[in-house]
Amino acid sequence: MKTILGKKVGMTQIFSEAGEAIPVTVVEAGPIIVTQIKTDKTDGYNAIQIGYQDMKEQRMNKPMKGHFLKSQVPFKKYLAEIRVDNPEDYQLNQTFTVEEFEVGKKLDVTGVSKGKGTQGNIVRHGHAQGRMTHGSKFKRRPGALAAGTYPSRVFKGNKGPGRMGRDTVTVQNLDLVKVIPERNVLLIKGAVPGPRGGLLRIQYAVKGQGK
């Protein structure tokens, strides 16, 4: 298993044997369990579903409760699906921890970025502002949106003010610096998406693993 779910704890730094300070993100990852096995025969493709973080039965809605009772696995708050080549190699309720990960490998980390509310063009898209001279009326305005003559309409896709953040973001090729199995902790070099306590999906990097 080369994928695991976890939560962002925060950032700190550790020191290498050479005395170099390394900024790391602390991630509390797993343990996860296999909650469903999908095969090409039954579902049209091969995959397994994994669950993370225990959840009380009374907090579960009826459809999800039935899903867990059918598989006879513990109730989990977060679910994710992973495509696999050989689903027969996995069993329901099989557990995976951070011990599956090897220090020095590259990781891809996916999370939901921090929400920044409604922002204007300058903050949201990095547009330049207008002249700050006295009397100018376009200091932070978006500027012209459409042609004055034909076609005198606003085209779709123009970069304008709006909601910023709360997007699914993947940061690729981060170094796994340290694994602490007894605390279910991964130390990943650099920053990862989302706020403290945000859900993360950590997996071996798709690209750059040989570097």
**What secondary structure does DSSP assign to the chain, as a single string?**
--EEEEEEEEEEEEE-TT--EEEEEEEEE--EEEEEEE-HHHHSS-EEEEEEEE--GGGS-HHHHHHHHHHT---EEEEEEEE-S-GGG--TT-EE-GGGS-TT-EEEEEEEPPP-EEE-HHHHH-PPP---STT-S-SS-----B-SSSS-SBPTT---SEEE---EEEEEEEEEEEEEGGGTEEEEES--SS-TT-EEEEEE-SS-TT-
Please give the pLDDT value at position 181: 93
In the DSSP assignment, the letter for residue 28 is E
d(CA 204, CA 119): 34
d(CA 89, CA 147): 61
Cβ proximity of 173 and 106 under 8 Å? yes
155 vs 39: which has the higher pLDDT: 39
* Tokens 């798709």 sit on residue: 206
Mean pLDDT of all residues in 30-34? 92
- Give the pLDDT band (50/70/90) at residue 7: very high
Model pLDDT for residues 142-176, shown as the tens digit of each residue:
877 877 778 788 888 888 899 999 999 999 999 99
Please give the pLDDT value at position 139: 87
Model pLDDT for residues 40-57, shown as the tens digit of each residue:
998 999 999 999 999 998
200 vs 139: which has the higher pLDDT: 200
Mean pLDDT of all residues in 100-123? 94
φ/ψ of 141, rounded to 5, equals -85, 160
Mean pLDDT of all residues in 61-72? 92
Q: In the predicted model, is pLDDT for residue 1 greater than 70?
A: no
Which of the four CATH numbers 2.40.50.140, 2.40.30.10, 1.10.357.10, 3.40.50.300 does domain 3-116+164-204 have? 2.40.30.10
Mean pLDDT of all residues in 118-142? 88
Cβ proximity of 148 and 169 under 8 Å? no
Compute CA 98 distance to the chain's CA centroid, rounded to the nearest angstrom. 17
Please give the pLDDT value at position 152: 80
Delimiting residues of CATH 2.40.30.10 domain(s) in the chain? 3-116+164-204
Mean model confidence pLDDT for the chain = 91
φ/ψ of 7, rounded to 5, equals -125, 140
Mean pLDDT of all residues in 119-127? 93
Please give the pLDDT value at position 74: 92
Q: In the predicted model, is pLDDT for residue 208 greater than 80?
A: no
Please give the pLDDT value at position 210: 59
pTM for this one? Answer: 0.83
Q: In the predicted model, is pLDDT for residue 211 greater than 80?
A: no
d(CA 159, CA 161): 7
Helical segments of 79-136, H only:
121-125
